[in-house]
Amino acid sequence: MINYFNEDLKFNLKNKRIISRWLRNIVSKRGISIGQLNYIFCSDSYLLDINKRFLGHDYYTDVITFDYSSDFELQYGVDSVSGDIYISIDTVRRNAEIYKEFFDNELYRVMVHGLLHLLGFDDMTPELLNEMRAEEDKALCGLSSLLSDS
């Protein structure tokens, strides 16, 4: 199940049904399913507080992912991915301007970036970041075709 929440701001994600199908497709191509996946849209200050309290980092970021997959697998004995993905709409908006990208495109990139972390991808080295970017690009192509079919 995929859920979308707002924490401390009003935000309306467009095309929820298509985006949910897209996210399920990304996961199913790896032979697993989605258990419980929550996207929580929030402000910079909200995400900064989470970053400080839970990760010990005192800086702004666009996305923080909490992986609950192993707990879910232990409880239900299935291969699935579960977690919370917090996204700062403020930072996504700012990054869209910096990279001269449409807001929705930048948001979708950040959404899949968080999901890729749950699927085991990392971005801690330049090589790993390049691999993750390639996966993001591949996933975004899949979303493009879903959106154009609707």
Mean pLDDT by 10 residues, the chain (150 residues): 96 95 95 93 98 92 91 61 96 97 97 95 94 96 84
Q: How much is the pLDDT for 78?
A: 60
Q: How much is the pLDDT for 144?
A: 86
Burial class (CB in 10 A: 0-12, 13-18, 19+), 143: buried
Backbone φ and ψ for 15, nearest 5 degrees, come out as 60, 40
pTM: 0.92
Q: How much is the pLDDT for 116?
A: 96
What is the token pair recorded at 49?
A: 């507080």
